[in-house]
Amino acid sequence: MSVELPFAPVDAVIRRNAGSLRVSADAAEELARRIQVRGAALAGEAAERATAEDRKTLMAADFETGNEEGTRNGGPPVTKEALTLPVAPVDRIARLDIDDRYRVSMDARVVLADVLESYADEVAASAAILARHAGRRTITAEDVETYFALLE
């Protein structure tokens, strides 16, 4: 599986959660892969909701962010300019596991990018804790993998 998401924005997400820790390239690559898997799964679930409502367009509300209007924490609507993750690759990720008959609205793309960025922040912060716990000064792919192993 090729990774649609560029590593640079994922690296930026990890670094903002890393504090004084360094970040290995393989950590950004592993997190990008995990984000892609999560995004494709969320889009599949959103497509099921759209199908249940006899729609062919995925809307922001289909991603069940807890905030139907695409706002972050009850604040103003999220804009693609406010995100670190780029919307175009997120759109390609959304289409990985759904039929070509579906369209993805721009609001849905932005909301999905926001959801995936929050997900990446959570994983990155946890990976930083794991790296510190291991006594290392660098976050590695192993830290990202360990986070997911602990969830199982």
Give CB contacts under 8 A, 24+ apart, made by 100-105: 101/56, 102/47, 102/50, 102/56, 102/57, 102/58, 103/56, 103/57, 103/58, 104/43, 104/57, 104/58, 105/57, 105/58, 105/59, 105/60
Residue 38 CB neighbour total at 10 angstroms: 17
Backbone torsion region of residue 19, taken as left when φ is above 0, otherwise alpha when ψ lies between -120 and 50, otherwise beta: left
> What is the per-residue pLDDT for 80?
86
- Domains of the chain (ranges plus CATH)? 7-151 (1.10.20.10)
The string of pLDDT tens digits covering residues 62-85 is 987 654 444 455 566 788 899 999
* pLDDT-above-90 percentage for the chain: 83
Q: Is the pTM of this model over 0.85?
A: yes
